Amino acid sequence: MTSETFDKGLRMRKAVLGEDYVNKSIASADAFNLPLQELVTSYCWGEVWTRPELPPRTRSLINLAMLTALNRPHELKLHLRGAVNNGCTVEEIREVLLQTAIYCGVPAAIDAFRSAREVLTELGKLPAAKA
C-alpha cells in the first residue's frame, strides 16, 4: 500500500466522517491498533470509497443497510453522520431503513431507526422526540 493511497483515503475519510472524528481516531491509536487504522484508511477509504463507479452518497446509503444488517450500532451512527455529510436526505435514510425491515428483520430496523433518530436530531435534521 502506498502512502498516496493512505493520503487519498485519509482525505475521503475526513470528508465523510468529519475531520475531528478521524483526527481523534488516528491520534488515539497505539502500537496495538495503529495497523488497523492504517488498513481501514488505506483499503476502505483509499481503495474502495474513492472508486468513481459509485458516488459517496450511494456508498453511504449502502453502508446504512449493511450496518443495520450486521447490527453494528456504533458504526451505524457514525455512517449516519457520514450520509448526511454526503448529501443524503432524511427521506432517503428513512427509505433505506424501511427496506432493511423487510430484508434484515424488523428488530434490526427498529434499532436502526432509534439510532437514526438520535443522530438526525443531534444534527438538527429532525425535531426532538416528544417525551
pLDDT for the residue numbered 129: 77
Contact 80, 119 (CB under 8 A): yes
Question: What is residue 100's three-state secondary structure?
Answer: helix
Contacts of 115 (CB under 8 A, 6+ apart): 73, 76, 77, 80
Domains held by the chain: number: 2
Indicate if 83 and 44 belong to the same structural domain.
no
pLDDT for the residue numbered 130: 80
- Whether the predicted pLDDT of 9 surpasses 80: yes
Contact 57, 87 (CB under 8 A): yes
pLDDT in tens, 94-125: 999 999 999 999 999 999 999 999 999 999 99
Indicate if 121 and 106 belong to the same structural domain.
yes
Indicate if 60 and 27 belong to the same structural domain.
no
Indicate if 12 and 72 belong to the same structural domain.
no
Please provide the DSSP assignment of 84-126 as one string.
HHTT--HHHHHHHHHHHHHHT-HHHHHHHHHHHHHHHHHTTSS
Radius of gyration of the chain, Cα coordinates, nearest whole angstrom: 15
Query: Domain containing 17: what range?
Result: 1-53
Indicate if 26 and 67 belong to the same structural domain.
no
Give percent of the chain with pLDDT exceeding 90. Answer: 95
- Whether the predicted pLDDT of 88 surpasses 90: yes
Indicate if 47 and 91 belong to the same structural domain.
no
Indicate if 95 and 130 belong to the same structural domain.
yes
Contact 106, 67 (CB under 8 A): no
pLDDT for the residue numbered 68: 98
Mean pLDDT across 66-78: 97
pLDDT for the residue numbered 2: 67
Indicate if 38 and 89 belong to the same structural domain.
no
Indicate if 119 and 70 belong to the same structural domain.
yes
CATH number, domain of 58, equals 1.20.1290.10
Indicate if 113 and 80 belong to the same structural domain.
yes
Contact 107, 68 (CB under 8 A): no
